[in-house]
A and B are shown apart, each in its own frame.
Chain A
């Protein structure tokens, strides 16, 4: 299967312009970018996609082995890059996709002109001096929370979601579709995301990078944003007025302005 189908890749904007690739984080899918991408369609070639396991990606392609580390997701990003022949790109990664973008840019630096990291964290769990903001128990608790909430998933409609069904209206009847996935995949992605430790990768990144840090972001606290900025040699840090972890949704105008200023 083509990686474009596997990752539900959508391309818009100006075909001949510099590519901007937007990668969603843990929780939802490419719709996370829907208030942001239109602002760049006149000037850039826009690429959005769903990580395997999320949104309308091919769930059959999910393997616990390949996606047992963030490198598996970074390899997918690079496959999309090769398939679309993307070079000189702007990669915008939200949440865990910030680290995925860093890993991809380290593997194949020539394809990346700039990185924009929205709410990045190289490690979520506290470790001696380092304050990631979470404990192992917190992550266990998140897995329990995911067990109690299926966000529109049900085994009965799984074939519909996977797209080999001739009644698409069944899928759209369910709410929470933007966060919908197989609960087992959601839990595995959560564990891989929140137990990852990519602190040692940061200094290996040579690509010019912008870090967007929100106020009162419990997932990626201010100190973590400062740490990321401190470790990436060629980086800028912007503190946003937006609160929470998803400024791309809660404060799209501020997010767009910050990205534009960096381009």
Chain B
């Protein structure tokens, strides 16, 4: 009768005849490699399986080489910087490494290493099992490659989004001679998505300028298409007609003609400076938050009249409102990314924006625009949920 090698008892199962393994045979021919090393890595015992896998002769390893000597170059560094210290700190480490075979090829392996301490707690022995992980590592490398491909394509998408986004705003900071104008723009999220806010500042060629700021409903490629359409339609229409409501109506018609089922809000301002240096602004708003005017006496008020948003009805209700600006007056055009910035249930809101304007109206246009965007960002912990676009127009003091 065969006996159990550990207990010495006789085995009487039908498989007893198969279980003739001695403890030594189990060690030497186990389906994994075994290594025993001193704490410094010096090999003192190794099984047949590992010798067969690597091609090493026992006499070349015992007391001659260290575990780390069997590793590929990168893994040797990994051993010194990660595996050895982890072994000291947590006594057991599992790691994927490549073992060097004598023929120069590499054996991808998973090793499990345990540090044995004596009663005094001093490290005395390291035991390591080695599992042939050739197939597994091929699979993992495929996954890794797929991840690298995904990362590269994400980077491309990000670059594409940024390039597209940059086309929604003028390439250079806006300038209107004799007036102080500045804009700030911050797309939603972490910069990997195309938003729907846009603005433009341009001269129409008659000593008149246009400030336009809008918001296409939604995000992504579809919204981007509409944003692009809106920008060039406005530029073209502005050359054909002076009246803001007429320009905006043309844009509405273009949206309907192209069967675009996205809303768009926009505020359009024609800025004129007469020879005396006075500044008058004609505004039409289509569903867009009305611009705010701050005056030196501390008042803040909306200017213009609300109108219908675009892309919905054939004849939107739009109004042209003429405003005369005095020296030191500030006009802020903004998208709802400012006022609807959210912190939990709370909105940034109109009141905060007005208060901000009162505080900073003495600053120049760039500082005011920067302050508004900073505060709106801070309010939502730095990462905006919606695009934020702000254009500030200021009449210099003593200009009139």
| Contact A249 B74, beta carbon cutoff 8 Å | no
| Contact A27 B75, beta carbon cutoff 8 Å | no
Are A138 and B94 also in contact (CB < 8 A) when A28-B82, A249-B88 are? no
| Contact A149 B80, beta carbon cutoff 8 Å | no
| Contact A138 B95, beta carbon cutoff 8 Å | no
| Contact B78 A249, beta carbon cutoff 8 Å | no
Interface of B is mostly: helix
| Contact B73 A141, beta carbon cutoff 8 Å | yes
| Contact B73 A250, beta carbon cutoff 8 Å | no
What is the bound-complex CA distance between A26 and B77, given in angstroms? 11
| Contact B95 A249, beta carbon cutoff 8 Å | no
Interface: B39 (CB within 8 A): yes
Flag B318-360 by CB within 8 Å of A: 1 or 0 each: 0000000000000000000000000000000000000000000
**Set B80, B94, B96, B123: member contacting A245, Cβ < 8 A:** B80
Flag B117-130 by CB within 8 Å of A: 1 or 0 each: 00000010000000
Flag B27-54 by CB within 8 Å of A: 1 or 0 each: 0000000000001110000000000000
| Contact A178 B81, beta carbon cutoff 8 Å | no
**Set B39, B78, B89: member contacting A31, Cβ < 8 A:** B89
**Set B41, B74, B93, B123: member contacting A145, Cβ < 8 A:** B74
Interface: B72 (CB within 8 A): yes
Are A137 and B73 also in contact (CB < 8 A) when A176-B90, A178-B86, A178-B89 are? yes
| Contact B90 A178, beta carbon cutoff 8 Å | yes
Binding site for A on B (CB under 8 A): 39-41, 66, 68, 72-78, 80-82, 84-86, 88-90, 92-97, 123, 137, 140, 144
| Contact A243 B73, beta carbon cutoff 8 Å | no
What is the bound-complex CA distance between A245 and B76, given in angstroms? 11
**Set B39, B73, B81, B88: member contacting A27, Cβ < 8 A:** B81
Are A149 and B85 also in contact (CB < 8 A) when A141-B73, A176-B90, A218-B76 are? no
What is the bound-complex CA distance between A99 and B56, given in angstroms? 39
Are A244 and B77 also in contact (CB < 8 A) when A28-B89, A31-B89, A147-B144 are? no
Could you tell me the distance in whole angstroms from the C-beta of A73 to the nearest C-beta in chain B?
Answer: 16
Interface: A179 (CB within 8 A): yes
Are A175 and B89 also in contact (CB < 8 A) when A151-B82, A245-B81, A245-B84 are? no
| Contact B82 A175, beta carbon cutoff 8 Å | no
Contact partners of B84 in chain A: CB under 8 A: 244-246, 249-250
Are A249 and B85 also in contact (CB < 8 A) when A138-B74, A219-B77 are? yes
Contact partners of B86 in chain A: CB under 8 A: 28, 151, 176, 178-179
| Contact A32 B85, beta carbon cutoff 8 Å | yes
| Contact A27 B82, beta carbon cutoff 8 Å | yes
**Set B68, B74, B92: member contacting A143, Cβ < 8 A:** B74
Flag A17-52 by CB within 8 Å of B: 1 or 0 each: 000000001111001101000000000000000000
